[in-house]
Amino acid sequence: MKKIIMILLLISSGAYGMKDCVFREYDIRGTVGTDLIIEDVYAVGRAIAVYFIQKDPNVKTVALGMDGRVHSEAIKKELTRAFIESGMNVMFLGVCTSPIVYFATHTLNAVDASVMITASNNPKEENGIKLMVGNKS
């Protein structure tokens, strides 16, 4: 996932401000404003949409949850705009935990992929994006 999203970002935006260290094997995570740049989240969202479709061409609806960090709302807005402009539906689950998003992905028939905005137990200055397509993260 890491390489695919980074390549798509470079192709689509020409340049982006996020540091390479935020792109990890199973998530995107870093210090907001330094490593994880809110203004670049839209481009990341478009790249995630392409990644989802590459993994499963039938992806139509993305479940989206977020934690209560102050920057989660801004990340949610950019990801939602990116998914909608990529032709996907977004089912916002509200402020919740990662297990709620995983549960929704496994039990709601309308959900094809999911995204959780969280840095889990990392410091409050950090935030991130966890991805899941079908039953795989």
Domains of the chain, start order:
2-133 (3.40.120.10)
pLDDT score of 49:
93
User: Which strands sit side by side in the sheet containing 27-31, from one edge to the other?
Assistant: 27-31, 126-133, 113-117, 61-66, 89-95
* pLDDT band at residue 136 under the 50/70/90 scheme: low
pLDDT score of 61:
96
Distance from C-alpha of 74 to C-alpha of 113, rounded to nearest angstrom: 20
Q: Is 137's pLDDT higher than 70?
A: no
For the chain, the residue count is: 137
Q: Does the active-site annotation cover 86?
A: no
Point out the catalytic residue in the list 13, 98, 120, 137: 120
Tally of CB atoms within 10 A around 27: 18
Stretch 14-34: mean pLDDT: 79
Q: Is 114's pLDDT higher than 80?
A: yes
In the chain, what percentage of residues exceed pLDDT 90? 58
pLDDT score of 11:
44
pLDDT score of 104:
92
3-state secondary structure (DSSP) of residue 135: coil
Report the candidate in 116, 67, 112, 119 with the shortest Cα–Cα distance to residue 86.
112
Tally of CB atoms within 10 A around 15: 8
Stretch 43-47: mean pLDDT: 89
Distance from C-alpha of 4 to C-alpha of 115, rounded to nearest angstrom: 17
For residue 96, the number of C-alpha atoms closer than 13 Å in the C-beta half-sphere is 17
Q: Which two three-digit tokens encode residue 59?
A: 């992806």
Q: Is 1's pLDDT higher than 60?
A: no
Looking at per-residue confidence, does 30 or 3 come out higher?
30
